[in-house]
């Protein structure tokens, strides 16, 4: 059974999940390049193998009756970091604090095709993935005790993926992640001091300077952040001030799909088939409550982190970063690849 423990000297929660260690790995090569089969009979995420995953929680299908005719499919992680049947009991010692391992950990198969990556999907197919993120974000946010829903993707073995079939993960946690709490606090302080949204001001400044802008469309702007931690780190931000991911309009959902497609394509043109993580950063769904969304200081966005270098002792010992590619160089190279 998982357990959530406080690392009291660093002010963060660690999830202890021994059963995660039992999960299978299927990468056929060290570099993480895939077989070219449309369906891999040994892949638990491929159509026809639905019985190898826990029961589906959500899907988008072309034909309602056929189990294998899904476009996007969500199911609980077979080797979950958190347990939907777990306890939420809190044990408060003087220096040792823990919580039961209650939480949700789902897998989203982004395409039935084993031979496709997220970047290979059409804008229309990507839009189904994003629609499903929104569905799971809302649904898990409304579960009792859940404080935050993390939506993320690990692509490639070097980025921590264990299975090669293109997928994302969704975790609902009973704690607010440390990074989000810090981002909320910084956004709130900034607004208290300046009267404006930190992220809206960053967008204005990036548009003025141009050097770190990769692309934009009507609703989104994509930049390599000024203080980028990783080479080719890329951030996708809504141009309209919006705190919660699920406040996307239908039109904005289409625009996000288009911006993501162009961004992943440019990164792939520049870096080849590259390992990466991406994570949505958002205010919690429930946070808005009665308050008008526009009154909240946070500004949701997507962070894409190519994993082509290895964070080492300096990074793990300081929480600061050494980045060997300037964001101006990264953005300039990516702009050349944007179509």
Scan residues 29-58 and list those touching a second copy (CB under 8 A): 30
Judged on CB neighbours under 10 Å (0-12, 13-18, 19+), 7 is exposed
Cβ nearer to a second copy, comparing 75 with 298? 298
Reduced to 3 states (helix: H, G, I; strand: E, B; else coil), residue 4 is strand
Residue 90 or 179: the one with the smaller Cβ distance to a second copy is: 179
C-alpha 156/C-alpha 118 separation (Å) is 12
Q: Which of residues 122-151 bind a second copy (CB under 8 A)?
A: 150
Q: Compute the residue count for the chain.
A: 339
Kindly indicate which of the ranges 215-223, 226-234, 246-254, 255-263 contains the residues binding a second copy, using the contact rule CB under 8 A.
226-234
For 317, residues 6+ apart whose C-beta sits below 8 A from its C-beta are none
**Quick one: which of 86, 121, 95, 122 has its CA closest to 2?**
86
End-to-end CA distance of the chain: 48
Minimum distance from residue 151 beta carbon to a second copy (Å): 9
Stretch that binds a second copy, among 65-73, 124-132, 261-269, 315-323 (CB under 8 A): 315-323
Minimum CB distance to a second copy smaller for 29 or for 42: 29
CA 325 to each of CA 59, 78, 214, 228: distance values in angstroms, whole numbers, following the listed order: 39, 38, 15, 9
| 117 part of the interface to a second copy, by CB under 8 A | no
* Residue 198 binding a second copy, by CB under 8 A: yes
DSSP string across 40-62: -TT-TTSTT-GGGSSPP-EEEES
Q: Which residue among 321, 332, 335, 337 contacts a second copy (CB under 8 A)?
A: 321
Whichever of 23 and 37 has its CB closer to a second copy, that residue is 23
User: Least distance in Å: CB of 148 to a second copy?
Assistant: 8
Closest CA to 161 of 327, 273, 15: 273
Report d(CA 181, CA 145) in Å as an integer.
17
Asked if residue 172 lies in contact with residue 146, where contact means CB atoms within 8 angstroms, the answer is yes
Tell which positions 174-193 bind a second copy, by CB under 8 A.
Answer: 175, 177-180, 182-183, 186-187, 190
- Provide the minimum distance between the beta carbon of 48 and a second copy in the complex, in angstroms, as a whole number: 27
Instruction: Considering only the stretches 112-120, 139-147, 254-262, 302-310, report the one whose residues sit in contact with a second copy under the rule CB under 8 A.
Output: 302-310
Closest contact distance (angstroms) between CB of 328 and a second copy is 9
Q: Contact with a second copy (CB under 8 A): which of 70, 104, 133, 199?
A: 199
In angstroms, rounded to a whole number, what is the distance separating the alpha carbons of residues 16 and 196?
39
Q: Report the residue number, 288 or 323, with the smaller CB distance to a second copy.
A: 323
Residues in contact with a second copy, counted by CB under 8 A, come to a total of: 82
Least Å distance, CB 69 to a second copy, is 29
Interaction between residue 244 and a second copy (CB under 8 A):
no
Strand 70-76 relative to strand 103-109: parallel, antiparallel, unpaired?
Answer: antiparallel
The one among 157, 165, 191, 241 contacting a second copy by CB under 8 A: 157
Residue 322 C-beta: closest distance to a second copy, Å: 5
- The verdict on 8 binding a second copy (CB under 8 A) reads yes
Q: Which of 118, 121, 202, 256 binds a second copy (CB under 8 A)?
A: 202
CA–chain centroid gap for 3, Å, is: 23
Q: Tell me if 318 contacts a second copy by CB under 8 A.
A: yes
Please state the φ and ψ torsions of residue 137, each to the nearest 5 degrees.
Answer: -60, -50
């Amino acid at each position: 059974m998982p357990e959530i423990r406080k690392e009291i000297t660093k002010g963060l929660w660690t999830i202890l999940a021994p059963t995660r260690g039992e999960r299978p790995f299927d990468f056929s090569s060290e570099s993480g390049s895939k077989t070219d089969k449309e369906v891999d009979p040994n892949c638990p995420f491929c159509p026809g193998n639905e019985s190898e995953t826990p029961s589906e929680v959500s899907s988008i299908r072309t034909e309602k009756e056929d189990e294998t005719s899904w476009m996007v499919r969500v199911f609980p992680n077979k080797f979950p970091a958190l347990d939907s049947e777990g306890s939420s009991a809190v044990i408060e010692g003087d220096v040792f604090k823990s919580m039961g391992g209650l939480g949700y950990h789902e897998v989203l198969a982004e395409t039935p095709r084993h031979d496709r990556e997220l970047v290979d999907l059409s804008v229309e197919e990507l839009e189904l993935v994003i629609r499903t993120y929104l569905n799971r974000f809302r649904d898990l946010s409304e579960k009792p005790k859940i404080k935050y829903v993390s939506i993320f993707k690990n692509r490639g073995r070097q980025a921590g993926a264990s299975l090669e079939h293109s997928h994302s993960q969704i975790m609902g946690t009973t704690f607010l992640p440390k990074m989000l709490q810090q981002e909320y606090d910084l956004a709130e302080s900034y607004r208290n001091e300046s009267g404006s949204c930190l992220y809206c001001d960053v967008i204005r400044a990036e548009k003025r300077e141009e050097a770190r802008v990769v692309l934009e469309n009507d609703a989104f702007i994509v930049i390599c952040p000024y203080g980028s931690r990783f080479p080719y780190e890329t951030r996708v931000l809504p141009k309209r001030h919006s705190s919660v991911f699920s406040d996307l309009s239908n039109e904005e959902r289409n625009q996000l799909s288009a911006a993501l497609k162009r961004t992943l394509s440019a990164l792939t043109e520049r870096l080849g088939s590259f390992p990466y993580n991406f994570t949505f950063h958002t205010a919690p769904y429930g946070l808005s409550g009665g308050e008008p969304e526009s009154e909240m200081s946070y500004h949701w966005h997507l962070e894409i982190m190519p994993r082509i270098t290895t964070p080492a002792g300096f990074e793990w010992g300081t929480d600061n970063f050494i980045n060997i590619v300037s964001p101006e160089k990264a953005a300039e190279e990516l702009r050349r690849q944007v179509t």
